[in-house]
Amino acid sequence: MRIVPFLLATVLTLALIFGLDRKWGSIPPLGRFLSPQQGFWQNAEPAGETYSETLHFPQLKGKATVYLDDRLVPHVFAENEADVYFIQGYLHAKFRLWQMEFQTFAGAGRLSEKLGNDPRILRYDREQRRLGMVYAAENTARVMESDTASRPYFDAYTAGVNAYIHSLTKSSLPVEYKLLDYQPEDWSNFKIALFLKVMSKDLAGYERDLEFTNAKSVFSLADLKDLYPEIADSTVPIVPAGTPFDAPGIVPVKPASADSLYFGNDTTLQVREINKPERTNGSNNWAVSGSRTASGAPILCNDPHLTLSLPSIWFEMQLTTPTMNAYGATFPGSPSVIIGFNDQVAFGFTNAMRDVKDYYAIRFRDASKREYWYNGAWQPTTIKIEEIKINGAPTLHDTVAYTAFGPVMYDESFTNDVTGTKAIAVRWVAHDPSNEGAMWFRLNRAKDYNDCREAIRGFVCPGQNMLFASKSGDIAIWQQGRFPARWDGQGLFVMPGEDSSYAWQGFIPEDENPHVVNPAQGFIQSANQRPVDASYPYFIPGNYIVPRGITIQSRLSGLQAVTPQQMMGLQNSYDNSLAADAVPLLLRTIDRAELDAKAKGFLRELETWNFHADPDSRAMTIYQAWLDSLERSVWDDEFARIREPQVRPDEQTLVELLLRDSASRFIDNINTPAVETLRGIITSAFTNAARGLAVEEGTNGLSWWKHKQATIMHLLRNSLMPFAREGIRAGGAGATPNAITKTHGPSWRMVVQLTSTTEAYGIYPGGQSGNPGSRFYDNFIDDWAAGKYYRLWVMKASESNDQRVLGTIHFSNN
C-alpha cells in the first residue's frame, strides 16, 4: 500500500509543475514568476546599485565612457560619431526596453498578440492597422535606409538596442515581460520609424471631420462657424498680428460641386475612433531675447504637454562626440536629443495643432473590395491582408483596401454604420515618405540659427512650432511640417471620394510656413494657438487652444531684466485667463435671490478668487463645477439631436459666445415652451452645481487637487495600478500655463539661459529607470509637482571624479 501515497505525491508534484509553469488567464506562470532565481524578485534593485561595468562590443569603432550621475542621467563621451548612438540605444534598452517595445506593439496594432483576447484591444489593433500605421512606418523606414548621411546613425542605435537585448537572461528581463510572459524581439530601424509614427498620431492625428460631418446634419454652416470658430475672439497668434504675408505660392481651386455635394450634404455617420488622440496634446515654448534678460543672453523655455505615464516618455541624457555636445530629453526608441541644447543653441517644440488628416467617402464595386469607383471608372485597390495574432485565440485576418487617398479605415466590416459598398478612406500626411529622425542629428550639431533652419527643412509630420535661441543672440520660431494647401472649408467634413476633384492639390511652400525671427517685441511664444491672424493667405483648420497663449503673452510683455527663475515661475503658473474672463460675466449675471444659503457661500468664495488654480483652491473647484454645469445647460438640448461621434464646443468658445451675444439662440432650451435667458441658465447652472459641491465638500473639502485627482498611470493602465502614482498634489488646469489635468500635463520642463557658460534647468514627472523596483523609477514626481527644477549638469570629461558621479560604464571594441 506504500505505493498509493507515492503515486499521489507524484501526481500532485507533476500537477504543480504543470500548473506553475503555465499561464492561467492574466496570471503569469507562477513557478517562473515567483522563482527566487529568475522571477520578479530579481527586479528588486539593490539600494546601493552603481551600474558600473566594463563592456566590449565589436560593433564599436572606438572607446567611450558613460558617467551616470546621482539622478541616473548618463553623460556619454564617445570618440566616434556613430558609437554615441550605439551607446544611446544600449542605455535606452537597459533602462526602458519594455516601454520601447510596448509602444511599437501599440503602434503596429499588435497588442492582442501580447495582452490576449479582449474585444476592446482587438478593435484598437484593427484600427491601428486600418489607419495605416505600419504602412506609414514602412514608407519612412525606406527613406531612412536610403539616406547615406543618417543611416549609419540609425543602424548604430539599433545595434546598441540589440546588443542589450542579446545580453538579457530570464532573470534580468524587465518585470512586465515576466508578468505578461513573453520575450523581447530584436529591434530594427523600422521600429524607430514606427515609434516616430506613434508620436505623429499623438500629435497630428487629432481632427474632427467625422464629428463635424454629423454636426452639419443639424446645424447650418453659420452655426458651425459660431460653434467651432476658425479664429477665437481673444486669440494671440504666434506671428504678431499685423505681420504682412507674401501672396500665396499655390491657390487651390474649390470644386464646382462643393456647395451641393460637400457643404450641402447632410449625411450622418456613426463611426468612432477607438483611440482618438488626446485633444489637449499641446505644449508651451517661448524665447526671450537678450535685450529683455538680466544677463543679456537669450533664454529659451519649453514644456511639452502630453499624457503622463510611467515609465516616462522622456529619458534625460548628455551626448558628447568630437562634433557634438548635446544635452536634454530623449525618446527611448529613437536616437538623438529631442528637446534640449548644445554648446551654441537651444531648441524646443510645441504642437502645431494643424489638421493634416482628411476622410473620403468611396464606393467599392462589391464586397471583395478589389475595385472602387474613381474618376469615372472602376479602379483596382491594393489589398493588404492584416494578420492579427491573438494570445489565447485564433488569428484574425482583416482585409484592408488601399486607394488613391490611402487606406480604407471604415467599411462594412469595421464600423457601426457604413454598410454595403460604402466606405471611408483616410488621407494623412504621416503616410508620406519622410525622414523626421534625421533632423535631430543635424539639430544636435547646429551652431547658429542658420544651421537650425537648414536642419528642420524637409520635416513632414507631426507639424511643430520649432523654437530656437543661440549664443549669437538670435531667437526664432518656425511652424514646420508639410501642410496641405486647402480651399476654404476643405477637409472640415468627410469629402466625396469618387473622383480626384476633392483631393489635396498641393502643399503650402515650406518658406511660407508661419515663422518669426528676432521680433521687435523681444520675445516669441507659442502655446498651441492659431499661428497667424486672418490675413494669412491659406485656410488652415486646426485644433487650436487659446488661454495659455494669452497668459504667457501678457506676462512676457510686462517683464524686463528677465531671469531663469522668473521663467520657471511662468512655467508653473496657475493663472487661468479663461476664468478671469468667465467669472465676472457669471457674477454680474446670476440672480442671487434664487440661491440658498449654501450656494451663496460658494458664490462668495468666487467673488474673492484670484483666478489661480492652486492645489488647495476651493474657488477653482467651484468655478469648474459651475462652468461644467453651464456647458450642459447650453449644449445638451441641441447636441441630443446629433449622432455619435460628436464634439462639443470648447470652454473658450462658450465663454466668448456668451460675452459676445447675451441673447444667443443657443441659450434657449429647444425642448421647453419657455424661452430661457442668460440670467436664468447661469443661475440654474450654479444651483445645480452647488448641490453637487455640497456633497463633494464632505469627502474632499473641495480642494482642487483632491477634486482633480491627478494620476500618472503605468503604460498598462488599470492593469498595473501598483506601478502608477495616484493623487498627486498638483494644481493647474488645461487653461493654465502649468496645464496639469487628471492624466495630462507638462512632460518635461526646461529653461536654458545661453550665457557663455550655459545655465540650464529641467525636470520631468517620472524617473530615469523603467524598473518599478528601482529607486529611480518615479523619484522626480514629487519635485515636479512642487514646481522644483534640477540644475542640468553639462559634464566635462575632466570631471570624472566629481562627487555627483554615481557609476561609470566603459565601452570598447575589444
Is the pLDDT at 710 greater than 70? The verdict is: yes
Q: What is the mean pLDDT of residues 199-226?
A: 91
* Separation CA 751–CA 341 (nearest Å): 10
Peptide bond into 484 cis (omega under 30): no
Region 85-113: mean pLDDT is 98
Query: What is the rounded average pLDDT of the residues 808-813?
Result: 97
> Minimum mean pLDDT among 9-18, 624-633, 657-666, 742-751: which range?
9-18
Q: What is the structure's pLDDT at 43?
A: 74
- Indicate whether 75 pLDDT > 50: yes
List of E strands, 529-628? none
Query: Would you state the pLDDT for residue 42?
Result: 66
Task: State how beta strands 357-363 and 495-496 pair.
Answer: parallel
Confidence of residue 206 (pLDDT cuts 50, 70, 90): confident
What is the spatial distance between Cα 567 and Cα 631, in angstroms, rounded to a whole number?
A: 34
Q: What are phi and psi of 297, to 5 degrees?
A: -110, 150
259 has a pLDDT exceeding 90: yes
pTM of model > 0.85: yes
CB atoms < 10 A from the CB of 692, how many?
12
Could you list the beta-strand ranges (E) of 376-460: 377-380, 382-390, 393-402, 408-410, 422-428
Could you give the CA distance from residue 233 to residue 623 in angstroms, rounded to a whole number? 22
Do 92 and 165 touch, CB atoms closer than 8 A? Answer: no
- Cα radius of gyration (the chain): 28
In the Cβ-directed half-sphere of 638, how many Cα atoms lie within 13 Å? Answer: 23
Measured CA to CA, the distance from residue 50 to residue 132 in angstroms comes to: 43
The confidence band for 687, taking pLDDT boundaries of 50, 70 and 90, is very high
Q: What is the pLDDT of residue 12?
A: 53
Q: How far is CA 222 from CA 218, 228, 419, 497, 633, in A?
A: 12, 10, 31, 25, 21
Q: What is the pLDDT of residue 354?
A: 96
Which band of pLDDT confidence, cut at 50, 70 and 90, is reported for residue 418?
A: low
pLDDT at 16: 47
Helix or strand or coil: residue 108?
helix
pLDDT at 640 over 80: yes
What is the reported pLDDT for 1?
A: 47
Predicted pLDDT at 562: 98
Domains and CATH numbers, the chain: 577-708 (1.10.1400.10)
pLDDT score of 85: 98
- Checking if the pLDDT of 228 tops 90, the result is yes
CA distance 375 to 32: 60
Contact 759, 766 (CB under 8 A): no
In order of 265, 372, 380, the CA distances from 375 in angstroms are 20, 10, 12
pLDDT-derived band of residue 47, with 50, 70 and 90 as boundaries?
confident
pLDDT at 267: 76
| Inter-residue contact 283 to 464 (CB < 8 Å) | no
In this predicted structure, the answer to whether residue 707 has a pLDDT above a threshold of 70 is yes
How many residues are present in the chain? 814
Cα–Cα nearest to 355, from 260, 249, 202, 483: 483
Model confidence pLDDT, tens digit, residues 339-390: 999 999 999 999 999 999 999 999 999 999 999 999 999 999 999 999 999 9
Nearest to 277 by CA among 455, 478, 154, 133: 133
Q: What is the pLDDT of residue 268?
A: 74
| Mean pLDDT score of the chain | 94
Q: Is the pLDDT of residue 18 over 80?
A: no
**Where are the extended beta strands (E) located within 497-598?**
515-517, 523-526
Q: What is the mean pLDDT of residues 181-203?
A: 95
Residue 499 contacts by C-beta under 8 Å, 6 or more apart in sequence? 374, 375, 376
Residue 30 has pLDDT above 90, yes or no: no
* Alpha helical stretches, state H, 205-348: 209-216, 221-227
3-state helix vs strand vs coil in the chain, percent to 5: 35, 20, 45
Per-residue pLDDT tens for 483-506?
A: 999 999 999 999 999 999 999 999
